[in-house]
Amino acid sequence: MDFMRTRALSLPFLCLLTTGYLSAAEVAPPPETPKRPVQDSMQGVTITEDYRWLEDGKADEVKAWTDAQNARTRAFLDGLAVRKPIAARLGALYSKTSSNYGGLISRGGRLFAFKNQPPKQQPLIVTLATSADPRTERVVLDPNTRSKAGATSIDWFVPSLDGRTLAVCLSDKGSEQGTLFFFDVATGRQRPDRLERAQFPTGGGSAAFDARGEGVFYTRYPSAGERPPADLQFYQEVFYHRLGTPQSADTYVLGKDFPRIAETVIETSEDGSRVIVTVANGDGGEFAHYLRLSDGSWTTISEFADEIKAVHLGRDGQLYLLSRQGAPRGKILRLDPDTLKPGVKPNLTNVPVIVPQGDGVITEYRALASQLYIVEMLGGPSRLRVFDLNGALQAVVPSPDVATIDGLAGIEGHADDVLFRQVTFTEPTTWFRYDPAAPESERLTATKLRAVSPVPFADIEVVREFATSKDGTRIPLNILKAKGVALDGKNPTILYAYGGYGINMSPSFVLNRHLWLSNGGIYVIANLRGGGEFGEEWHLSGNLTKKQNVFDDFIASARHLIDRGYTSPAKLAIEGGSNGGLLMGAALTQAPELVRAVVAYVGIYDMLRVELDANGAFNVTEFGTVKDAAQFQALYAYSPYHRVNDGTKYPAVFLLAGENDGRVNPANSRKMAARLQAASASGWPILLRVSSASGHGIGTALSERIAQQADVYAFLFDQLGMNFTAPAEPKSGKKRKGFGLELKVRLGR
């Protein structure tokens, strides 16, 4: 049984709120949606669709239709008795949660970090002493002071090598259309420099200071007039800006030969003598690397075909390369930059292998004065191993069996000390310090940068099982549940997955899951092909024409949970976002009988037109293109929008999108909602929620995130027939800390 329910009688501060089984709650008919057939011919196939007109988000009739859909969704969700108490509970949880730190960088004798500090709407940037003690914290930039509603967010930041100046990319309303600003670290004062077009959601953005902190190398997109309007979010190049000068005086550095869909990251060595530029060829996992030599000239380290995934400048002055050529799980090479010549690419077949491929997938690494730290993925969980610079294993750093380790950060002034982040499904983030020179029993210490959950997860266990996919591949499942739960098929269960871009579904602590788990729910995260949990082979077996493997893996995961008695089709919900939203669309159209409810965030559903959007062009290297016959056949075969069939009993579906989304066009959600509403014969609701306050999810204000979560949980509790247990309000009538945040959530958005 779940944590809260088993204690409802013994702990006086809990009360039981029963909403009853509301899956038959009335939902108004959807707004009238005219069918206006449009035909296309692709690869000899004639394709007809009825809702092309919904793609024009600026058209008055589309805005009116979207408003009507939002009003219908709002009326349904606000009419559920469970929605307000869920919103209040979420508000209370986030109000009481501790601060959380991320993205640690050591510069100028101090640490820079992101700090999440609920109930603040957006994370801020702080500095800390290298002891990583929060008592030494000082705020450098709080974007919440720039917008009370939390509309302004930090895309990324980079400090100068001396730690005196901070470059920060800021954008509004989750748009990820960022401008680069500069701040004096000592005073927090904003400098006059302002670099436009440094960041877009298509190729992202990056910057790195020069050795003296006098200027930055940064990514810049074309300005109007430099390229056709359709190309203004493409053709990213690297420029140099000297602080105190106008952007018009900036000098071109690199990038005229980069692909149209370049995604560029810039890194400076600790002494500033060298600069590395990493260029991704869209989102498919191909990278090229360029090095600025000490004399200021540039040379190519690797090209896309070389399968070098990352290049890192070690403290010993050497280049450490992560290669997957002939090693899909990764190997580490070492290259002396002093042997490189301007414009001459090295022969990488002659570069020595320092750490050969092992059983884990190398995801992160850092070479310090005498130690090489390597994080390896083991099918989802990860571990940290320590080598000397010649590749001899020194230690395996102790960690829980199912944990994520990341965020490796060397500390200036300490030759080989490293900071890293550790998190599990049931324990929030703790930053650890590892000192290889200390006595063995003292090498690993927890810093005081430790998040604390406002509610215990002690009664929650994590079980790792394997489903068997259609072709026999074993698919890991991470099952979060209350200890001792009965496998009787009656448990409301959420199955979540992603399966794309080589992205790993690693253990993570998500506070709002407590609301689900403590009310009898089970939460499952599947490690599907298309991700990178088992290396590049795992990724490539789930992209392009092999994308159907991802959907087969997910459907097999659902069947495994049903067959093992964790749940049943009447109690199973599925959830995913972006590429995971595509997964939701494929699952609900290919196996609607397995699922009772679907939640899809910012999803891709029309796979035949996605490449026409700006960011869709970056996805071609992952999904494929309709211009290729074989890839078209694969795309058309699974495209969710085209696989919806009239008269089918589809599960209840909740589609969420953001109007400011520059990664996935919200037209996908509009069209998919219209098609499902016209086709479904189940009588269960097909809901659409389009937020004007968010984009793809990055940079969304806390209040909007909580409002979305409240809507989703209310929908799922309703559709799966769940009761909700909420804590009682204090009898004194006094407002709890954070009540203002809860009030905003109760009122809706």
The alpha carbon of residue 543 and the mean position of all alpha carbons in its chain are separated, in whole angstroms, by 18
Residues 468, 553 within the same domain? yes
**Residue 667 in domain:** no
Residues 555, 505 within the same domain? yes
Q: In the prediction, which pLDDT does 280 show?
A: 96
What share of residues in the chain are helix, strand, coil (percent, to 5)?
A: 25, 35, 45
Q: What is the pTM of this model?
A: 0.91
Is residue 166's pLDDT more than 70? yes
Locus of tokens 């109930």 = 119
Residues 448, 468 within the same domain? no
The pLDDT tens digits of the residues spanning 281-315 come to 999 999 999 999 988 999 999 999 999 999 999 99
Residues 488, 559 within the same domain? yes
Is residue 745's pLDDT more than 80? no
Task: Enter the tokens of residue 720.
Answer: 């799966």
Of 727, 732, 677, 566, which is closest to residue 95 (Cα–Cα)? 727
Residues 373, 440 within the same domain? yes
Which whole-number Å values give the CA distances from 445 to 131, 441, 509, 617, in the listed order? 11, 9, 21, 46
**Residue 470 in domain:** yes
Q: In the prediction, which pLDDT does 744 show?
A: 33
d(CA 244, CA 403): 45
Select from 511, 541, 567 the last residue of a domain.
567
Active site (catalytic) residues: 578, 696
The pLDDT tens digits of the residues spanning 654-666 come to 999 999 888 999 9
* Order of strands, sheet of 178-184, starting from the edge strand that comes earlier in the sequence: 152-159, 165-172, 178-184, 190-199
CATH number at residue 516: 3.40.50.1820
Range of the domain at 406: 363-452
Q: Average pLDDT, stretch 509-519?
A: 95
SS3 473: coil
The pLDDT tens digits of the residues spanning 517-557 come to 999 999 999 999 999 999 999 999 999 999 999 999 999 99
Q: Average pLDDT, stretch 483-492?
A: 96
pLDDT band at 632 (very low <50, low <70, confident <90, very high): very high
CB-hemisphere CA count at 13 Å for 540? 8
d(CA 262, CA 236): 6
Residues 438, 471 within the same domain? no
Share of the chain above pLDDT 90, in %: 89
Residues 463, 414 within the same domain? no
Least trusted range by pLDDT, from 174-178, 242-246, 562-566 = 174-178
Select from 567, 602, 627 the last residue of a domain.
567
- 735-747 burial, b for 16+ CB within 10 Å, e for fewer? eeebbebbebbbe
Residues 409, 469 within the same domain? no
Which whole-number Å values give the CA distances from 253 to 201, 204, 219, 290, 735, in the listed order? 22, 18, 10, 11, 57
pLDDT band at 728 (very low <50, low <70, confident <90, very high): low
Start-to-end Cα distance in the chain: 33
**Residue 500 in domain:** yes
Q: 396 has which bridge partners?
A: 385
Q: In the prediction, which pLDDT does 726 show?
A: 75
**Residue 440 in domain:** yes
**Residue 46 in domain:** no
Q: In the prediction, which pLDDT does 270 show?
A: 86
Is residue 731's pLDDT more than 70? no
Residues 497, 479 within the same domain? yes
Number of domains in the chain: 2
Q: In the prediction, which pLDDT does 24 show?
A: 44
The pLDDT tens digits of the residues spanning 7-49 come to 222 222 223 233 333 344 689 999 999 999 999 999 999 999 9
Residues 408, 506 within the same domain? no
**Residue 205 in domain:** no
Select from 423, 452, 481 the last residue of a domain.
452
- Say which residue, 172 or 742, is predicted with more confidence: 172
**Residue 640 in domain:** no
Q: DSSP readout, 527-595? A: --BTBSTT-HHHHHTTSGGGTHHHHHHHHHHHHHHHHTTS--GGGEEEEEETHHHHHHHHHHHH-GGG-
Share of the chain above pLDDT 70, in %: 94
Is residue 566's pLDDT more than 60? yes
| Mean pLDDT computed over every residue of the chain | 92
**Residue 89 in domain:** no
d(CA 735, CA 677): 43
Residues 373, 397 within the same domain? yes
Is residue 276's pLDDT more than 50? yes
Q: In the prediction, which pLDDT does 110 show?
A: 96
The pLDDT tens digits of the residues spanning 334-355 come to 999 999 999 899 999 999 999 9
- State the virtual CA torsion across 499, 501, 502, 508 in degrees, nearest 10: -60
Is residue 748's pLDDT more than 50? no
Q: DSSP readout, 376-445? A: EESSSSEEEEEEETTS-EEEEE---SS-EEEEEEE-TT-SS-EEEEEE-SSS--EEEEE-TTS-GGGSEE
Number of other residues whose CB lies within 10 A of the CB of residue 339: 10
d(CA 657, CA 578): 10
Q: Average pLDDT, stretch 221-249?
A: 96
Residues 372, 418 within the same domain? yes
